[in-house]
Amino acid sequence: MSELQRVTIRPVDEYNQTLVSYVHPLDWVNPQPADCYDLVVIGAGTAGLVAAGGAALVAGGLKVALIEKHLMGGDCLNFGCVPSKCLIRSSRVVGEIWNAKAYGIRTSKYVDVDFSEVMERMRRVRAGISHNDSAKRFQNMGVDVFLGNAQFSSSDTIKVDHQTLRFKKAVIATGTRPIQPSIPGIEEAGYLTNETVFSLIQKPLSLVVIGGGPIGCELAQAFRRLGCEVILFHKGSHILNKEDADAAEIVQKVFVQEGIRLVLNCQIQKVEKTEDGKTIYFTCNGKQDVVTVDEILVGTGRAPNVEGLNLDVVGVEYDERQGVKVNDYLQTTNPKIYAAGDICMSWKFTHAADAAARIVIRNALFSPFGLGRQKLSSLIMPWVTYTDPEIAHVGMYEHEAQQKGIDVATIKIPFTDVDRAVADGEEEGFVKIHHQKGSDKILGATIVARHAGEMISQITTAIVGNIGLTKLSQVIHPYPTQAEAIRKAADAYYLSTAFTPNTKRLLAWVRKFS
């Protein structure tokens, strides 16, 4: 195996060594390539794993190859969903302790967070589940796993280091990486990204987070609760500005209450490495200012991994910022080559990559003459920002429906009206459902709650199943639960439409004979 393919994840402890032994084993020997593969997948992140594993399992006898140059499992396992949610879980314990007095529990004002143990737990959990994405597991599924650099070498061949793989169909699933911010001096001063922040073993006393989107907000709150002084820089006037404004306002208030300093409408001028740390010069609402911190975490911008693939050789069009160009069937400009996941989609979520990979399997392998193909646009895609409280959304926002010429009505149920939320002391939040005016058809929804991500699937299921608010009002919810807010929203629609003046007169007449 070439030196380029050897991977070390720091710190080099037992957990990271276990991780590497599964997702990039140093003793791995690439198999002898088959004469021709039915499907070759480049990239072993979520999209690549699902595409390769699914193709091998769905249709026995297909020859499938999977190529990965770095870590199987991609960002989700190694630098994204899994490690970040481990940190968020630890930080939520701190949040509970901070709020304990409101529940009649007396605690010390000082919370002793052992940052090194928090990070060790994260590494232990990550290593413990990494076998699910391991090279050996996919080999056992019948997939030929190749570790190395892949590039197209002709219209039907891909080179992996010194080996050549011939293919009938191929999938590009190489994902994205953090972009280098165009801030003078930041490279020399040094900064963290999602690919390096989980290697920390010592807590930075002070941390600047650049970017008020989901990644920046999730990690800013987690590190604040774990004991860091956190300053969040955002160029917009409000954090999470792509989300529902009411939802983002609730999270922003929580951030301020928890001591996160928000620097909004700002422009960073330069960064310098000084004796005291990393000094950031910036302007905010036209005023110049400066701050010095221990570490900088950049949570803005992703670049598609298109370099080195020789896409021009096979006629696959791409953009260095947007990634590989695909049609609604996830087909590239070369009909034999598909793409899935972050490399080609605006939805940059693990579950979106999973869903797209399933579409690719169907369209590339089981749609002869184009019959039965599925469209990416047919997916109903939910997503969650894992702050505390969480923001979960599915379907259209109100402004999106209006842009499409759809008349929208909105039902909003605040958690102050939900008994379980009141008992939990979690009244700051709501369920907001958009429906077509004059109809019970659900167009979209936003939920703000501690476990909003666990609740949004009920509404996603309703949209996918074409279940309207009238039917949803008939779903019995256990009492007391916060999900009862969804039933209340459905009831609000039903009561507003079912009991019209004419209906009430009819019911009064019927009652005389009952």
Name the band, by pLDDT with cuts 50, 70 and 90, for residue 59.
Answer: confident
Two tokens at 501? 């003046």
Give pLDDT, residue 505: 67
Averaged pLDDT score across all residues of the chain: 95
Provide mean pLDDT across the span 211-225: 97
Q: Within 59-191, where are the H helices? A: 74-78, 81-98, 115-129, 135-140, 186-189
How far apart (Å, rounded) are the C-alpha atoms in residues 469 and 494? 7
Tell me the CATH class for 186-300: alpha beta
Number of other residues whose CB lies within 10 A of the CB of residue 69: 21
Residue 394 DSSP SS3: strand
Confirm whether 3-75+137-178+303-378 and 389-501 share one CATH topology: no
Q: Token digits for 416?
A: 């102050």
* Residue 102 pLDDT exceeds 70: yes
Return the CATH number of 389-501, one of 3.30.450.40, 3.90.1150.10, 3.30.390.30, 3.20.20.100. Answer: 3.30.390.30
Tokens for 216, please give them.
């920046």
Q: Which pLDDT value is given to residue 2?
A: 45
Give kind and range of the element (H or E) at residue 151. strand 150-154
Around 252, how many Cα atoms within 13 Å sit in the side-chain half-sphere? 20
DSSP conformational letter for 192: B
Instruction: Quote the pLDDT of residue 109.
Output: 74
Q: Stretch 417-424: mean pLDDT, rounded?
A: 98
152 phi/psi in degrees, rounded to 5 = -70, 135
Contacts of 27 (CB under 8 A, 6+ apart): none
Phi, psi of 322 (to 5 degrees): -90, -20
- Tokens encoding 22: 């599964």
Comparing 414 with 496, the larger pLDDT belongs to 414
Distance of CA 303 to the CA centre of its chain: 16
pLDDT exceeds cutoff 70 at 295: yes
pLDDT tens for residues 232-286?
Answer: 999 999 999 999 999 999 999 999 999 999 999 999 999 999 999 999 999 998 8
Q: Where are the domains of the chain?
A: 3-75+137-178+303-378, 186-300, 389-501
Name the residue with higher pLDDT: 503 or 39.
39
pLDDT tens sequence across 444-503: 999 999 999 999 999 999 999 999 999 999 999 999 999 999 999 999 999 988 766 666
Residues 215-221, mean pLDDT to the nearest whole number: 97
Domain 3-75+137-178+303-378 is in which class? alpha beta
> What pairs with residue 267 in β-bridges?
283
Which amino acid is it at 445?
A
* Binding site, annotated residues for NAD(+): 211-218, 301
Please tell me the predicted confidence (pLDDT) of residue 496. Answer: 87
Q: What is the pLDDT of residue 155?
A: 95
| % pLDDT > 70, the chain | 96
Tokens for 94, please give them: 């701190």
Residues making up the annotated binding site for FAD are 85, 342
CA distances from 352 to 43, 55, 119 (A): 16, 18, 28
* Percent of the chain residues topping a pLDDT of 90: 92
**What pLDDT shows up at residue 61?**
85
Report residue 4's pLDDT band, with 50, 70 and 90 as the boundaries. very low
* Alpha-carbon span 72 to 119, nearest angstrom: 21
Show binding-site residues.
Answer: 85, 211-218, 301, 342
- Secondary structure in 3-state letters for 269-332: EEEEEECCEEEEEEEECCEEEEEEECEEEECCCEEECCCCCCHHHHCCCEECCCEECCCCCCEC
